Structure 1
Amino acid sequence: MKKAAIIIALIVVASVIICLKASLYVVDVRQQAVITQFGRPVKTVTDPGLCVKTPFIQEVRYFDKRLLEWSGEPSDILTRDKENIGVGAWARWKISESLKFYTSLGTEERGMRVLDEVIESAVKNVVSSYTLKEVLRNSNRKLEYTTKELEEAEDIKKVQIIMGRDKISEEIKKMALRALEGRYGIELIDVRIKYINYVEAVIPKIYDRMRSERIRIANKYESEGRKEEAEILGSMKRELERIESEGYRTAEEIKGQADAEAVKIYAEAYEKAPEFYSFTKTLQTYETTFDKQTHLILTTDGDYFQYLKSFRQEGKRGQE
């Protein structure tokens, strides 16, 4: 009897434990729960703590109450100014109405797939209606460039940012909210553009355009260099001509002074011995005017003939 009573008591205790385990559940502070009965939702629990349900009849479905992260795949989009770019977006969302979320989607994975469709569609519709500059930049703040030429080229374009990247992100969020409103129990907290890249097919064209821009700048530098070179060479030529002119003028002045000094010396010498001076000048004249091919006809009463004749006679006396 005692043995049977012990067995019955153990069975009762085990049954109580099983019933308690099946009827008690804990909702974490990070979670919310939906209680279903035969598959139909009957209650939602959002407060954390120990709760009770009908054992073996009701089941608990847990959902995250925290902010959840969504990160989309890059989408190829053609902007209003015909630039083909890849845009990636990210978002933060949460399950605001667990009962509606459970009845419409059931799992967080399905919620992610819905966001894939809604947000990516909003990104394509909004981004395609703006230019690339509007999507990239937030304001008209003057950008800093590595070269003055690139800065001047940007100033020539006169880019005016009206919306900007942040406002475009807000527009994407509003469009996505309109698509989600009242349907899935999802609250979209924020949507942002994560990155913007050129698609791989147009990258070579971008590089070619960048290369042509650099070549244009290089040609401009080369043209300016040739201009400065011509100016420097012209200045050097003018300076050389000025120096040569001054040197020639100085040389002529020195030569003139030397000639004047020589004339003065010759004049003084002539005054001291005019006959000797006349004689030497005559000899110099003969020396410069006569050569071996010259035939000279003299009269007997000429000075030169008389001089040669007297010189010859003196030569004979000396030989005797």
Structure 2
Amino acid sequence: MAKNLSIILAILVVAAGFTASSALFTVSETEQAIVMQFGKVQTVVQEPGLKVKTPFVQDVIKVDKRVLSVGTEREEVVTRDQKRLMVDSFARFRISDPLLYYQSFGNIGVAYSRIETILNSQLRQILGREILTDIVSGERTRLMETIKNQVNVETASRGLEVVDVRIVRADLPTANSQKVFDRMRTQREQEAKEIRATGAEIAQRIRANADREKTVLIAEAKRDAEITRGTGDAEKNRIFAEAFGKDKDFFSFYRSMQAYRDAIGDNDTTMILSPDSEFFRFFDGRNITAK
């Protein structure tokens, strides 16, 4: 009898333990919980800790509370200026309302797929209204914020909050890249030709001005030289005239010395003259008069 009582007590203890374990569940800091009863939502638990439910009747569905990330397939976008771009992007989101999330998607896989679809749609719409230079330049931050806000409009009613959207890459397709590169090279070559032509024109104008100034300077210099030479010749003639008037013999001697210098200088000139020639009259002293 005592043995049977011990067995019964053990069974009761095990049953009580099993019942207690079925009535308790834990929600961690990174989770939220939905308590279901016969397929219907009974309550939503968003605070972490040890919680109680009705055993064998109620079930608990755990929902992630962390910020999650979903990426998109490489998407082709046609811009407003008819340029094709291959865009890579991703979004970060969290489940803000577990009940709406569960009613809308049921599981996280469906939520991922739906956010990816919405993100691709908004990428095509918003980037399609922009020109290429705005997408690849400093306007990208504004565009990502706009895309995030538009995605939030569609996901907020489904219990999801998109906290960030990022455009990772925005590249031209390979064929288009080559065409754009060729067009950019042609434009740069045209700009270079225009710059070189402008430089050549400026250089030609500078050279023409310099040549004109050189011609004027040379003409003025020649004029001044002629004036100076004429003035010098006049002064020389005046001095010669005064010297001739004061002492004819000395003047004649001076002029003869100049003639000797010019005639028998270092130019290898050969002359055959008689020693008593009038040209050498000052060499024998016969025409030098002491004074």
TM-score bracket for the superposition, by shorter chain length:
0.5 to 0.7
Q: Distance in 1 between matches of 2:42 and 2:73?
A: 36
Alpha-carbon distance, 1:137 to partner: 7.0
- Contact 1:70 1:92 (C-alpha < 8 Å) held by counterparts: yes
Shift of 1:227: 3.2
- 1:15 paired residue number: 15
For 1:26, the equivalent position in structure 2 comes to 26
Q: Which runs of 5+ in 1 are unaligned?
A: 140-163, 285-320
Contact 1:91–1:192, Cα closer than 8 Å, also in 2: yes
2:263 is matched with which residue?
none
Shift of residue 85 of structure 1? Answer: 1.6
* 1:177 equivalent in structure 2: 153
Distance 1:133-1:248 versus aligned 2 partners, 3 A rule = closer
Structure 2 letter corresponding to 1:98: P
- Compute the displacement of 1:67 (Å): 4.4
Query: Any conservation in 1 of the 2:148–2:162 contact (CA below 8 Å)?
Result: no
Match of 1:122 in 2: 122
- The alpha carbon displacement at 1:76 in A equals 0.9
Q: What is the match of residue 215 of structure 1? A: 189
Task: Give the equivalent residue in structure 1 for 2:173.
Answer: 200
Equivalent residues of 1:68, 1:93 under 8 A apart: yes
1:273-302 CA distance string (max 9 Å, x none): 59x97xx9xxx9xxxxxxxxxxxxxxxxxx
Q: Give the secondary structure class of the aligned counterpart of 1:82.
A: coil
Q: Distance in 2 between matches of 1:189 and 1:175?
A: 7
- Superposed, 1:221-240 pairs within 5 Å as 221-240=195-214
2:231 paired residue among 251, 257, 263: 257
Aligned to 1:84: 84
Alpha-carbon shift at residue 194 of structure 1 (Å): 2.4
Contact 1:127/1:168 (8 A) holds in 2: no
Contact kept? 1:137, 1:165, Cα under 8 Å:
no
Contact 1:31 1:64 in 2 (8 A): yes
Q: Is the 8 A contact 1:173 1:190 kept in 2?
A: no
* Residue number in structure 1 paired with 2:287: none
Aligned residues: 252
Shift of 1:241: 2.4
Q: Which SS does the other structure have where 1:70 is aligned?
A: strand
Partners in 2 of 1:103 and 1:265 — Cα distance?
A: 128
Q: Supply the distance in 1 between the matched residues of 2:99 and 2:236 (Cα, whole angstroms).
A: 128
Q: Give the corresponding residue for 1:61.
A: 61
Question: 1:155-194 maps to which residues of 2 (within 5 A)?
Answer: 166=142, 169-170=145-146, 173-174=149-150, 177-178=153-154, 185-190=158-163, 192=165, 194=167
Could you report, residue by residue, the CA deviation over 1:56-102 in whole angstroms, capped at 9, with x for unpaired residues? 44432111244443333342111121011233444444434434533
- C-alpha change, 1:14 and 1:83, in structure 2 (3 Å) is same
The residue identity in structure 1 corresponding to 2:188 is R
Q: Work out the percentage of aligned pairs sharing the same amino acid.
A: 27
Report if the CA contact (8 A) 1:96-1:186 is conserved.
Answer: yes
- Per the alignment, do residues 197 and 96 of structure 1 end up closer, same or farther by CA in structure 2, a change over 3 Å counting? closer
Change (3 A) 1:113 1:261: same
Q: Which residue of 1 aligns with 2:280?
A: none
Question: What is the deviation of 1:22?
Answer: 1.9
Cα distance in 1, alignment partners of residues 243 and 119 from structure 2: 118
Query: Structure 1: how far apart are the matches of 2:73 and 2:171?
Result: 15
TM superposition score normalised by structure 1: 0.62
**Alignment check: 8 A CA contact 1:136 1:165 kept:** no
Give the letter aligned to residue 223 of structure 1. Answer: A
Q: Distance in 2 between matches of 1:79 and 1:73?
A: 18
Alpha carbons 2:31, 2:66 under 8 Å: kept:
yes
Q: Does the CA-based 8 Å contact 1:31-1:66 persist in structure 2?
A: yes
Return closer, same or farther for 1:55/1:28 CA change in 2, 3 Å cut-off: same
- Write the letter of the residue equivalent to 2:181: Y
For the 8 Å contact 2:35–2:61, the answer to whether it is kept is: yes
Question: Is contact 2:99–2:159 with CA below 8 Å preserved after alignment?
Answer: no
Q: 1:70 to 1:255 in 2, by over 3 A?
A: same
Alignment CA distance shift 1:259-1:109 (3 Å): same
Q: 3-state SS of the aligned residue for 1:113?
A: helix
Q: Calculate the aligned-residue CA RMSD, in Å.
A: 3.9
**Cα gap change, 1:219 to 1:269, in 2 (>3 Å):** same
1:26/1:176 CA distance change after superposition, 3 Å: closer
d(CA) in 2 for partners of 1:168, 1:105: 25
Alignment CA distance shift 1:34-1:168 (3 Å): closer
The unaligned stretches of length 5 or more in structure 2 are 260-291
The equivalent residue for 1:160 is none
Amino acid in the other structure paired with 1:260: A
